[in-house]
Chain A
Amino acid sequence: MTAEPLRLHNLSPVTLRQRLASSLLALDYGAAVVRVGSDLTGFATDLQRVYGAFSLVETAFADFHTQVRRGRGVRAYLRPQSRFLIDGIQPFDPFPREQALAHFEWGVNWCFAQRFNQHVLLHAGALALADRGVIMAAPPGSGKSTLTAAMMLRGFRLLSDEFGVLCPRSGLLWPMLKPLALKNRSIDVIRDYADEVILGPVYKGTRKGDVAHLAPGTSSVDARRQPARPQLVLFPSFRQGAALSTRRLPAEQAFAHLAFNSFNYELLGATSFNAVADVIENCPAFTLEYSRLDDAVESVRMLLAESTVTGNAR
């Protein structure tokens, strides 16, 4: 019998703050490990809420070394701020201190997008049932994150909301499991969608509107070292009042949508070309328009079951 791991929500607030103060906290996202240090009490509280299911990781190695620190100088007293640092360098302007967690999340996303080029980084959500993966790509505002959250809350394993981490050697999708950033109306939609929703605080009036983070479920967290085989590519879009509809996309169009929305497709040349082509060759691709989340989730479940049998090129 395996012992239950010590998770962040098991730590006392004092212990967590001590770990953060000493930069002894490592967050294992699956594809990458991020070490984080902080001297901000509010940040520690918010972090513990949305990373509560994450287990404590004792590792000397981390892919990224980050800090979330209080502002400096007189301004730090007049308008408290948080600063995000990677390897001791501050790449962005400070944020209001009460938005420190949102600042950290964007900072880590920036680190991945800039520096994680051993994988093809699709701008897509990724979920799975067992090891059968679904890639969901869509532009901001299309309802992708809302649908991703709903799928996780209805039993899909969340790999990532933002980065579809595709290994070019194996063709597998790796989890990059972070809290799911919900914006504006989708915050209330997801809060009301299931009983087990754990949401962080709502950060009002950020650069991306109101933002709140949905904590990944324990089953997704515990499977964050298990890759999935891509089986289905979806391009979802929410439209108020729309009846559920799906449309098969020609493969070359699906390739273009997926490749040209990736973070590093152009940087990796033939590596990313072949990796994305392999995905499209083996996965049917559909647009999916929806207005009711449960209908959309069931539709994805059915498409995934069918795609396992048929594939794209077969």
Chain B
Amino acid sequence: MQLLYRRLGEGAVALDLRNWQTHVLTPAAAVIFEALSEIADGDRPLPLPQALELLRHDLEVDTDSPEIHQVLRSLQEMGMLGG
């Protein structure tokens, strides 16, 4: 991942250094981002099934909710998640 990440209060912001696009992360998205960062393998995108597994079992997140879909789409745009 080529990202600059800054936690701001309960949310966060991230700058994608590949295209200088800025992403604004809600508090929920920031928690998920940080949890996935811990198991990510360097700059390589984390496979989506692995991410879903972590969210369901370790964080007990309902991965079928529209809000989490939106967060996952954002993380894919940022290059953090693979397909």
**Chain A contact residues, CB within 8 Å of chain B:** 250-256, 259-260, 266, 269-270, 273-274, 277, 280-281, 312-313
A252 touches B20 (CB 8 A): no
| SS class, residues of chain B in contact with chain A | strand
Kindly provide the distance from the CB of A274 to the nearest chain B CB, expressed in whole angstroms.
Answer: 7
B4 touches A250 (CB 8 A): no
Which of A251, A252, A270 neighbours the largest number of chain B CB atoms within 10 Å of its CB?
A252
Kindly provide the distance from the CB of A235 to the nearest chain B CB, expressed in whole angstroms.
Answer: 16
**Category for how many chain B residues contact A:** 10 to 19
How long is the Cα–Cα vector from A199 to B12 in the complex, in angstroms? Answer: 44
B21 nearest CB neighbor, chain A only: A266
A273 touches B22 (CB 8 A): yes
A252 touches B25 (CB 8 A): yes
How long is the Cα–Cα vector from A266 to B16 in the complex, in angstroms? Answer: 12
Q: For A312, what are the chain B residues with a Cβ–Cβ distance below 8 Å? A: 9
A268 nearest CB neighbor, chain B only: B20
B20 touches A277 (CB 8 A): no
B22 touches A252 (CB 8 A): no
Given A256-B24, A259-B22, do A313 and B9 touch, yes or no (CB 8 Å)?
yes
A277 touches B13 (CB 8 A): yes
B9 touches A250 (CB 8 A): yes
How long is the Cα–Cα vector from A277 to B11 in the complex, in angstroms? Answer: 12
Kindly provide the distance from the CB of A77 to the nearest chain B CB, expressed in whole angstroms.
Answer: 50
Q: For B69, what are the chain A residues with a Cβ–Cβ distance below 8 Å? A: none
Kindly provide the distance from the CB of B16 to the nearest chain A CB, expressed in whole angstroms.
Answer: 10
How long is the Cα–Cα vector from A250 to B12 in the complex, in angstroms? Answer: 10
Kindly provide the distance from the CB of A275 to the nearest chain B CB, expressed in whole angstroms.
Answer: 11
A250 touches B13 (CB 8 A): no
Q: For B44, what are the chain A residues with a Cβ–Cβ distance below 8 Å? A: none
CB within 8 Å of A: which of B18-47?
Answer: 20, 22, 24-27, 30
How long is the Cα–Cα vector from A273 to B11 in the complex, in angstroms? Answer: 15
In the complex, whether B53 has a CB less than 8 A from a CB of chain A is no
Kindly provide the distance from the CB of B38 to the nearest chain A CB, expressed in whole angstroms.
Answer: 21
Kindly provide the distance from the CB of A273 to the nearest chain B CB, expressed in whole angstroms.
Answer: 4
| SS class, residues of chain A in contact with chain B | helix
In the complex, whether B56 has a CB less than 8 A from a CB of chain A is no
How long is the Cα–Cα vector from A259 to B22 in the complex, in angstroms? Answer: 9
Could you show 5 A-B contacts with beta carbons less than 8 Å apart? A251-B11, A252-B13, A273-B6, A273-B15, A280-B8
In the complex, whether B10 has a CB less than 8 A from a CB of chain A is yes
Given A255-B13, A269-B15, A270-B15, do A277 and B24 touch, yes or no (CB 8 Å)?
no
Kindly provide the distance from the CB of B67 to the nearest chain A CB, expressed in whole angstroms.
Answer: 16
Contacts A252-B12, A252-B25, A252-B30 supplied; 18 other A-B pairs, CB < 8 Å = A250-B10, A250-B11, A251-B10, A251-B11, A252-B9, A252-B11, A252-B13, A255-B8, A256-B24, A260-B22, A269-B17, A270-B15, A273-B6, A273-B13, A273-B22, A274-B4, A274-B6, A277-B13
A269 touches B20 (CB 8 A): yes
How long is the Cα–Cα vector from A260 to B15 in the complex, in angstroms? Answer: 13
How long is the Cα–Cα vector from A259 to B14 in the complex, in angstroms? Answer: 12
Q: For A313, what are the chain B residues with a Cβ–Cβ distance below 8 Å? A: 8-9
Closest A-B pairs by Cβ, 5 of them: A252-B11, A251-B9, A251-B8, A273-B15, A277-B6
Q: For A273, what are the chain B residues with a Cβ–Cβ distance below 8 Å? A: 4, 6, 13, 15, 22
Q: For A252, what are the chain B residues with a Cβ–Cβ distance below 8 Å? A: 8-13, 24-26, 30
Q: For B30, what are the chain A residues with a Cβ–Cβ distance below 8 Å? A: 252
Kindly provide the distance from the CB of A313 to the nearest chain B CB, expressed in whole angstroms.
Answer: 7
B19 nearest CB neighbor, chain A only: A269
B4 touches A255 (CB 8 A): no
